[in-house]
Amino acid sequence: MNPGVVYAFAAFAIWGLFPIYFKALHSIGAVEMLAHRMAWSMLFLLIVMTVRRQWKWLGPVLRDKRLLARFAASAVLLSANWGIYIWAVNDGRIVEASLGYFINPLVNVLFGMAFLHERLRPVQWLAVTIAAAGVAWLTWVNGAPPWISLALALTFGGYGLLRKTASLGALEGLTLETMLLCPVALLYLFFLNSHGGSGFEHASTGVKLLLAAAGPVTAVPLLLFAAGARRIPLSMLGLIQYITPTLQLLIGVVIYQEFFGHDQLIGYGAIWTALAIYSIEGVVRARGPRAKA
């Protein structure tokens, strides 16, 4: 088996298991959990970058104000995405959160059209239309739009758009983002601790260790993803990515007994159909040039 497939599969599987990890930290508030994730991620990434001796990029980046501003914006979107997801998991909305990552590829297509002037092919328009119908159905049956799903898809889509237009590797970019976020996170944690509101202070040793593990939990799948992305075609990577929301959906329904009825199946079914159309079209289009060669 291609090692790239193994790396990519492992990365998306780890991301898919995130609900179990964050559920285990339910005694910690969502914002405090987010702050710890920022702080421990930065510490772990600093160690990784030092061991790998990958610091040559930092000087030029710090001198580029436009690039710094772009990464400050991507850091804000990333923290919003992390925070919404952590809150959703611990509020019993894992199923709704999984929908956000199912529709994210289609949001990326729309963002590419709106901001990068990419043209949508007819099949892509069909996929987007079917997905929009699925979201509209869920809005109608629930009496409100799936705000968590949309917020996760939009924040991650915006994050991906900013990162796509920034010339910095995935690991270096995440290191810079956590460096920008960490001062705010540390100030918040200091404020909590000084006012007696820190969940970490009163948590069990197991919970403290799990919080500290947020660094490797965040960075390791990213390293695996980067290793996989270098070794396999983008079309294959695009198919493997659905492991993450699929696992999250199954965890929400099977392990945590979240509701998933007939109405939800119709809405999700429309979105899955849209994703199938979008993915098959992408694979066929990617194989076309190789077939002609």
What is the tens place of the pLDDT at every residue in 123-147? 989 999 999 999 999 999 989 999 9
CA dihedral 32, 181, 99, 111 (to 10 degrees): 160
Helix (H) or strand (E) holding 12: helix 3-16
User: What one-character-per-residue DSSP string does 186-234 give?
Assistant: HHHHHHHHHTT--HHHHS-HHHHHHHHTHHHHHHHHHHHHHHHHTTS-H
Residue 277 scores a pLDDT above 60? yes
* Other residues' Cβ atoms within 10 Å of the Cβ of residue 71: 24
203 Cβ contact list (under 8 Å, min separation 6): 27, 28, 211
Q: How far apart (Å, rounded) are the C-alpha atoms in residues 39 and 291? A: 48
pTM beyond 0.85: the answer is yes
Give yes or no for a contact between 226 and 215, defined as CB atoms under 8 angstroms apart: no
Q: Which tens digits make up the pLDDT trace of 62-73?
A: 999 999 999 999
Residue pair 101/151 in contact (Cβ under 8 Å)? The answer is no
Residue 180 pLDDT more than 70? Answer: yes
Kindly state the tokens that stand for 15: 């991301």
Q: Residue 250 pLDDT > 60, yes or no?
A: yes
pLDDT in tens, 195-231: 888 899 889 999 999 999 999 999 899 889 988 888 8
Q: How far apart are CA 163 and CA 65, in angstroms?
A: 16
Summarize the confidence of residues 230-259 as an average pLDDT.
90
The domain ranges of the chain are: 3-292
